[in-house]
Chains A and B, each alone.
Chain A
Amino acid sequence: MRIDLTDTTSSKINSALMDARRASGSTAAGMVLTMVIVVDEGSAYDALKSANDASREHPSRILAVIKRAGRSPRARAGARLDAEILVGSAAGSGETVVLRLHGELTSHAQSVVLPLLLPDAPVVVWWPENAPLNPAQDPLGALAQRRITDAVTAESPVGQLAVRADSYTPGDTDLAWTRITGWRSMLAAALDQKPVRITGAVVEGESYNPSVELLGLWLHDRLHVPVQRIVTDGPGITAVRLRTKDGDIVLDRPDGLMGTLSIAGAPDRIVALKRRDTAELIAEELRRLDEDAIYAAAVRTSVEKLTDEEAAVESKAATAPVAEAVAQAAGEVAEEDTEAATKPAAKKTAAKKKAGA
């Protein structure tokens, strides 16, 4: 069932929702959370689709907030709210309201969203892209228990990690972190099997993918060993090596689908390690709504801790340029030149390193 309301208000939307529910005979009691998605017109479709798929596991009221400031001064001066309500099979297992905010209303989105939140249920805000610098201070973010950002969609994905760390507030989370859960659990399982002292670690993966850095930072944070970052062609993360005195523990996934776990002294084993789609990531995010201290610790570890050199070499000079550049990029998110310039450089050093090894 689909209802279009133009030039409307939150209370009209609320009563339309109630009517729609009555008509379809269902109740709101089963819905477990309200999910607010802040998107632009271009990415609304994909984001809504993922959220709807995720809502099969977590029935929710999905509010998509689309801001249309308007191009002309005249359009910007006006204010109008249009809503598109989807209830029933069209809206996954909950209900969806697409809110289009025009003109001046774009800077008062929380006034529209607040009356539409489900009573007594948690609120999650997701910015598929263009997340605010400080999600918890954002007027919409302030309504939520859980704020989901996605560093990979930022202009400077790796620099974005520092931004997330600076503004980290309990309840913040990033899909770049969610993407590495499979890797983390497999690595933890590997260490369950072979409890040895790790002396160093290497993470390999494509550039512009903050998940690779986050995985390295997590390893650094947990193991307190030097972690080396090597740029490969991807897809995503391609390998993690944990150095031990008996040889490496290697989790290698060249194709983004099947991984191989090799532990010195044990047979190689294949493990399914598929890259997951956004709906699965969102579903994982919604499973727990409490603070993720492990993420906080990982993201707050400075990217400078990662080297692009073999750990044993310990050459400070070689690591400085990358770290510096990354720090710089973090400071000036908009400035992508720095990032673009350093990345190929990093790649080159990595390639050189490989050729040498």
Chain B
Amino acid sequence: MSNAQEFPDLEGAEVTQGDNVARPVNPLRDPADRRLPRIAGPSGLVIFGVTGDLSRKKLMPAIYDLANRGLLPPGFSLVGFARREWEDEDFAREVHDAVKDHARTPFREEVWQQLAKGMRFIQGDFDDDDAFDNLRQTIEDLDKAQGTGGNFAFYLSVPPRFFPNVVQQLKKHGLADPPAGSWRRAVIEKPFGHNLETAQELNRIVHEVFPRDEVFRIDHYLGKETVQNILALRFANSMFEPIWNRSYVDHVQITMAEDIGIGGRAGYYDGIGSARDVIQNHLLQLMALTAIEEPASFHPKALVAEKLKVLSAVQLPKDLGKHTVRGQYASGWQGGEEVVGYLDEDGINPESKTDTYAAIKLEINNRRWAGVPFYLRTGKRLGRRVTEIAVVFQRAPYLPFDSYATEELGQNALVIRVQPDEGVTVRFGSKVPGTSMEVRDVTMDFAYGESFTESSPEAYERLILDVLLGDANLFPRHQEVELSWQILDPIEKYWEEHGKPAQYPAGTWGPVEADEMLARDGRSWRRP
């Protein structure tokens, strides 16, 4: 879906329509040559907080998988930065183990050797000037030894409170200023603040050091094939778009459910809650992609313009008390295991009002969607781990059957299964075999696992590659982040001032209040 080939000058600053920076054409490349993969140019990646979970389970395996698929440039370098007292070899061994445990593609010694040559480790604190001097020296050495050409991305896999520190240090030591003809990029992970104010503050800090177009915000949902497929489904086909509007759609349900609790993340989670953790970024992005108008092209600017239009057209319900629900999981049995309630988790204040479940109703005020509610819900310790977008259609205006015949007929639905079991389901009525006329719901199914087995790359693979290529299509821009907070802030404020979270037993589909919230509109939640 990215159109990088048509915009070869994406790297670096602003790209405007008709921008034609003269670049030597590589005679060995041809847009018709679809076999040649998009290989990143000479570059390296510096990971701060490299000893963390994300780095071990996602980033390192993704880098190996990219190398294994031949998508990384020769001489690609990986620099780890953390407090731990490691030598380069210890770091390499750590990456080796992480790759063996978590990589998607089979382990191949020759690929590993290619990668291992460019691995370095820097030990130090984020306010340690020597360590950053050391980092600069290492980067310069890598340019010489590995030919990385001064192109480096800095991946901040650290809690946001360290961001100011790290970016200022990068600036102070000249690491954020690219040598002529090269680039320096910053990659940051959620949370992007915890309300509009802090998000703006964070953007200000990062933009002070890195230009806007060199900051890549990772929302790993956008790297998922199924999410990218929303755009393909809508804009590459002709059969869905005509009914993708208020004339046919009754409502949309977007669900992201987790079966796990907060695990060891008490420190991070308490005070943040599920709405800030999930709705602000993932669910609002999914909603935007489901609702946007056709972009003029898949150029990042064109896409972001459409997303911003949708997000700024979002209308909150007038009575937030009736159309939003938050909950906390109570102790219960989940999948055969007894689990404790949120308030009994280690490190959680027993008086905590943090939500582990949130459901909200939004409307989009434009010609396409006016009057169609979008129900967004997320939660921990729900029935099972699932993320899906269900577009539920209106009932047929007239049914020429007698009422008994259609008793079991529900509403038609198109469900995009984001994870797991990625695919698309269409639900419609069909005659039950037999002598009487009876119509019942059946499903038609497309599963990625069946149609393109094993080829789906992990979200992080795609996103890291896009960072190195400078393709910003799958990354939320700072305006999107700020608009999302503008949507969520009034809800959070209302929740703070009114009541407390409803309790729901772990392993169920959320509090009864959430069911009541939909029942008020004459609807019900799908069981995902």
Interface residues in B419-467 by Cβ distance below 8 A to A read 445, 447, 450-455
Contact with B along A171-182 (1 / 0, CB 8 A): 000000010011
Contact B108 A274, beta carbon cutoff 8 Å: yes
Contact A57 B67, beta carbon cutoff 8 Å: no
Is B144 positioned at the interface, with any CB of A under 8 Å from its CB?
Answer: yes
User: In the complex, which of the residues B36, B75, B447 contacts A185, with contact meaning CB atoms closer than 8 Å?
Assistant: B36
Contact A269 B28, beta carbon cutoff 8 Å: no
Contact B114 A267, beta carbon cutoff 8 Å: no
Is A272 positioned at the interface, with any CB of B under 8 Å from its CB?
Answer: yes
Contact A272 B114, beta carbon cutoff 8 Å: yes
Contact B110 A274, beta carbon cutoff 8 Å: yes
With A and B bound together, what is the CA distance between A258 and B145 in angstroms? 18
Is A75 positioned at the interface, with any CB of B under 8 Å from its CB?
Answer: no
Contact with A along B478-516 (1 / 0, CB 8 A): 000000000000000000000000000000000000000
User: In the complex, which of the residues A178, A188, A258, A267 contacts B28, with contact meaning CB atoms closer than 8 Å?
Assistant: A188
User: In the complex, which of the residues B29, B34, B145 contacts A288, with contact meaning CB atoms closer than 8 Å?
Assistant: B34
Is A3 positioned at the interface, with any CB of B under 8 Å from its CB?
Answer: no
User: In the complex, which of the residues A56, A184, A195, A258 contacts B114, with contact meaning CB atoms closer than 8 Å?
Assistant: A258
Q: Quick one: given A59-B453, A189-B73, are A181 and B35 in contact (CB under 8 Å)?
A: yes
Contact A272 B454, beta carbon cutoff 8 Å: no
With A and B bound together, what is the CA distance between A62 and B452 in angstroms? 16
Is B236 positioned at the interface, with any CB of A under 8 Å from its CB?
Answer: no
Contact with B along A278-315 (1 / 0, CB 8 A): 00000010011010111000000000000000000000
What residues on B are CB-neighbors of A198 within 8 Å? 27
Is A30 positioned at the interface, with any CB of B under 8 Å from its CB?
Answer: yes
Is A266 positioned at the interface, with any CB of B under 8 Å from its CB?
Answer: yes
What residues on B are CB-neighbors of A271 within 8 Å? 74, 114
Is B351 positioned at the interface, with any CB of A under 8 Å from its CB?
Answer: no
Closest to A266 in B: B147
Q: What is the number of residues of chain A that contact chain B, defined by CB distance less than 8 Å?
A: 45
Is A147 positioned at the interface, with any CB of B under 8 Å from its CB?
Answer: no
Is B319 positioned at the interface, with any CB of A under 8 Å from its CB?
Answer: no
Contact with A along B17-46 (1 / 0, CB 8 A): 000000110111110111111010110000
Contact A184 B28, beta carbon cutoff 8 Å: yes
User: In the complex, which of the residues B30, B149, B450 contacts A294, with contact meaning CB atoms closer than 8 Å?
Assistant: B30
Contact with A along B349-391 (1 / 0, CB 8 A): 0000000000000000000000000000000000000000000
Closest beta carbon of chain A to B138's beta carbon, Å: 15
User: In the complex, which of the residues B26, B30, B68, B451 contacts A30, with contact meaning CB atoms closer than 8 Å?
Assistant: B451
Is A192 positioned at the interface, with any CB of B under 8 Å from its CB?
Answer: yes
Q: What is the number of residues of chain B that contact chain A, defined by CB distance less than 8 Å?
A: 41
Interface residues of B, dominant DSSP:
loop
Closest to A187 in B: B28
Contact B36 A191, beta carbon cutoff 8 Å: no
Contact A191 B451, beta carbon cutoff 8 Å: no
Interface residues in A257-274 by Cβ distance below 8 A to B read 257-258, 261, 263, 266-267, 269-272, 274
Closest beta carbon of chain A to B393's beta carbon, Å: 22
Is B528 positioned at the interface, with any CB of A under 8 Å from its CB?
Answer: no
Contact A189 B24, beta carbon cutoff 8 Å: no
Is A72 positioned at the interface, with any CB of B under 8 Å from its CB?
Answer: no
What residues on B are CB-neighbors of A181 within 8 Å? 35-36
Contact A258 B36, beta carbon cutoff 8 Å: no
With A and B bound together, what is the CA distance between A223 and B75 in angstroms? 25
Contact B450 A59, beta carbon cutoff 8 Å: yes
Is B117 positioned at the interface, with any CB of A under 8 Å from its CB?
Answer: yes
Is A118 positioned at the interface, with any CB of B under 8 Å from its CB?
Answer: no
What residues on B are CB-neighbors of A287 within 8 Å? 455
Contact A189 B39, beta carbon cutoff 8 Å: yes
Contact A56 B453, beta carbon cutoff 8 Å: yes
What residues on A are CB-neighbors of B108 within 8 Å? 272, 274
Contact B74 A189, beta carbon cutoff 8 Å: yes
What residues on A are CB-neighbors of B149 within 8 Å? 193
What residues on B are CB-neighbors of A184 within 8 Å? 28, 33, 35-36
What residues on B are CB-neighbors of A293 within 8 Å? 32
Closest to A257 in B: B110
Is B146 positioned at the interface, with any CB of A under 8 Å from its CB?
Answer: yes
Is A186 positioned at the interface, with any CB of B under 8 Å from its CB?
Answer: yes
What residues on A are CB-neighbors of B146 within 8 Å? 267, 269
Contact B26 A57, beta carbon cutoff 8 Å: no
What residues on A are CB-neighbors of B39 within 8 Å? 185, 188-189, 192
Closest beta carbon of chain B to A133's beta carbon, Å: 25
Closest beta carbon of chain A to B199's beta carbon, Å: 36
Interface residues in B81-112 by Cβ distance below 8 A to A read 108, 110-111
Closest beta carbon of chain B to A213's beta carbon, Å: 17
What residues on A are CB-neighbors of B67 within 8 Å? 272
Contact A272 B113, beta carbon cutoff 8 Å: yes
Closest to A32 in B: B451
Closest beta carbon of chain B to A243's beta carbon, Å: 14
Known contacts A178-B35, A270-B113; can you find 18 more A-B pairs with CB under 8 A?
A32-B452, A56-B453, A57-B453, A59-B450, A181-B35, A181-B36, A184-B36, A185-B70, A186-B70, A189-B74, A191-B26, A195-B24, A223-B28, A258-B114, A267-B147, A269-B147, A272-B67, A292-B35
- The 5 residue pairs across chains A and B that have the minimum distance between CB atoms: A30-B450, A195-B24, A269-B75, A188-B28, A269-B74
A-B contact pairs, 12 of them (CB 8 A): A29-B445, A30-B451, A59-B450, A184-B28, A184-B33, A186-B70, A188-B29, A223-B27, A261-B75, A267-B144, A269-B147, A272-B67
A residues contacting B by CB (< 8 A) are 29-32, 56-59, 93, 178, 181-182, 184-193, 195, 198, 219, 222-223, 257-258, 261, 263, 266-267, 269-272, 274, 284, 287-288, 290, 292-294
